[in-house]
């Protein structure tokens, strides 16, 4: 009780947050003011306004910094992740966040940062070993059935991949190999996940990646253990790490580099409608080619049948026989024998021509039947006839995740012979399914 009374003494000063922050800001600007600092750049970002925001760090601490457009336009030293800089500027406080920062007025190059130096050294060594050579790059499959994904199960990457895949080709399978994508243990987990997917027999292509971040955030994908795992993968690997401007060692070793995880899906598989249109065009071309070939063979056969030699083959021999001698019995018999053989060869040639035309027509007809069967297999109604169903959410799109709907939403279920409308009363999400 006495302590409580002591806290309520008259004249006690109670600061408002804004008032205290302004006082700290004034102390920083007055007592310290402009200083030189040296550190390694991290998380550098240039905004549309032209201002550059970045962090300076060393082994013990970090300092937020901003270089405004006017200074950035005249500076000859680039501000990029991994660079080691000496920066002169004024210390101040960004009041809305209560965060102290450095307003950069002048920048000098202080050499290469530790992370950037490690990145360049490993990159040079792997280039020398040939891990980046184009001759080692594997071709992506045209239509993969199962896609392996190495990423965090809690991040946005897997959700983006499933969303894009659901729009482009919803009946493909996804197998998630969950890993940490940041921290000391991340690189080892990523490498082991890649090795595991290569032990399976059902994976056609692998996407490995994470969202954007600073050089430190993405560092797991710059580790040698990850580069080696990507290189030894017998399955094609697509690297989708960070944003379009971020590059990692994993990007250089992978068979294909995608600027974002969503773009990785667009690289690995074309929309289903594209395949259907291609098959339709091929079917039309095949039918047209078959008709053209049959017409050519029919015209050749008609011309041959109407030829004077084929209609009256014995005329030439008869005239020749009459010119030689009517009394030469041996010559007569030889000519008659030659006439018989010629007639037989003509009959055999006609029979072979008929068989060849029939065989070619049969082969072409079988190709058309196989193409039709492939088209029917791609038809989603064929899947419904096997007892499967497709549930549509309130927005009319196929429902992939129970988190996309809420209790009380009206759903439609597509069956082989109609639709069923229902109202959601409960939902449950499985966290351990390997396939999506």
- How far, in whole angstroms, is CA 64 from its chain's centroid? 35
Higher pLDDT, 5 or 417: 417
**pLDDT tens digits along 114-138:** 777 788 888 899 999 998 999 999 9
Spatial contact of 253 and 227, defined as CB atoms under 8 Å apart: yes
Give per-residue pLDDT as tens, 39-52.
Answer: 888 888 899 999 99
Distance CA 236, CA 139 (A): 7
pTM, entire model: 0.49
How many residues are recorded in the chain? 436
Count helices and strands in the chain by DSSP H and E runs? 14, 13
Is residue 209 within 8 Å of residue 152, measured between CB atoms?
Answer: no
Q: How far apart are CA 312 and CA 299, in angstroms?
A: 20
* Per-residue pLDDT reduced to its tens digit, 139-182: 988 878 888 999 998 888 888 888 887 777 777 788 999 999 88
- At residue 93, what are phi and psi to the nearest 5 degrees? -125, 130
Quick one: average pLDDT of 385-392? 74
Q: What is the mean pLDDT of the chain?
A: 80
Q: What is the pLDDT of residue 436?
A: 42
Q: Decide: 252 and 123 in contact? Cβ < 8 Å.
A: yes
| Residues whose CB is less than 8 angstroms from the CB of residue 175 and which lie 6 or more positions away in sequence, other chains included | 146, 147, 148, 149, 197, 200, 202, 203, 434, 435
- CA within 13 Å, CB half, 159: 8
Beta sheet of 390-392, edge-to-edge order: 390-392, 410-415, 418-423
Q: What is the mean pLDDT of residues 412-430?
A: 78
* Cβ atoms 105, 28 nearer than 8 A: no
pLDDT band at 1 (very low <50, low <70, confident <90, very high): very low
Cα–Cα distance measured from residue 280 to residue 270, given in angstroms and rounded to the nearest whole number: 16
Q: pLDDT value at position 108?
A: 81
Average pLDDT (302-320) is 63
Choose the most confident range, by mean pLDDT, from 102-106, 164-168, 308-312, 359-363: 102-106
Of the ranges 59-63, 245-249, 271-275, the best mean pLDDT one:
59-63
């Amino acid at each position: 009780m006495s302590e409580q009374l002591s806290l309520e003494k008259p004249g006690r000063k109670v600061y408002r947050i804004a008032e205290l922050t302004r006082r700290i800001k004034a102390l920083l600007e007055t007592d310290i003011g402009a200083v030189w600092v040296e550190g390694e750049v991290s998380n550098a970002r240039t905004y549309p306004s032209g201002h550059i925001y970045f962090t300076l760090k060393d082994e013990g601490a970090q300092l937020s910094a901003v270089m405004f457009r006017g200074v950035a336009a005249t500076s000859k030293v680039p501000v990029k992740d991994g660079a080691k800089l000496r920066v002169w500027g004024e210390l101040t406080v960004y009041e809305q966040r209560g965060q102290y920062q450095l307003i950069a007025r002048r920048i000098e190059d202080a050499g290469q940062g530790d992370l950037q130096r490690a990145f360049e050294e490993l990159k040079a060594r792997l280039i020398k070993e040939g891990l980046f050579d184009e001759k080692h790059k594997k071709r992506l499959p045209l239509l993969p059935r199962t896609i392996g994904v190495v990423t965090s199960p809690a991040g946005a990457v897997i959700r983006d991949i499933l969303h894009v895949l659901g729009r482009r080709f919803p009946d493909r399978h996804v197998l998630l190999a969950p890993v940490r994508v940041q921290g000391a243990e991340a690189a080892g987990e990523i490498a082991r996940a890649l090795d595991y997917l290569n032990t399976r027999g059902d994976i056609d292509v692998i996407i490995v990646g994470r969202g954007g971040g600073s050089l430190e955030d993405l560092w797991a994908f710059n580790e040698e253990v990850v580069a080696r795992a990507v290189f030894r993968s017998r399955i094609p690997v697509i690297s989708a790490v960070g944003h379009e401007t971020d590059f990692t060692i994993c990007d250089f070793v992978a068979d294909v580099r995608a600027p974002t995880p969503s773009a990785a899906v667009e690289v690995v598989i074309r929309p289903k409608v594209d395949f259907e249109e291609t098959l339709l065009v091929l079917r039309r071309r095949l039918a047209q080619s078959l008709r053209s070939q049959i017409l050519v063979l029919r015209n050749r056969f008609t011309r041959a049948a109407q030829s004077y030699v084929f209609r009256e083959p014995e005329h030439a021999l008869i005239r020749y026989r009459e010119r030689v001698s009517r009394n030469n019995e041996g010559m007569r018999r030889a000519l008659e024998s030659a006439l018989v053989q010629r007639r037989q060869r003509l009959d055999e040639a006609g029979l072979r021509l008929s068989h060849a035309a029939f065989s070619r027509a049969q082969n072409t007809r079988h190709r058309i039947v196989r193409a039709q069967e492939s088209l029917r297999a791609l038809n989603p109604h064929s899947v419904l006839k096997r007892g499967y169903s497709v549930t549509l959410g309130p927005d009319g799109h196929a429902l992939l995740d129970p988190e996309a709907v809420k209790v009380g939403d009206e759903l439609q279920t597509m069956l082989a012979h109609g639709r069923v409308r229902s109202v959601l009363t409960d939902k449950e999400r499985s966290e351990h399914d390997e396939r999506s």
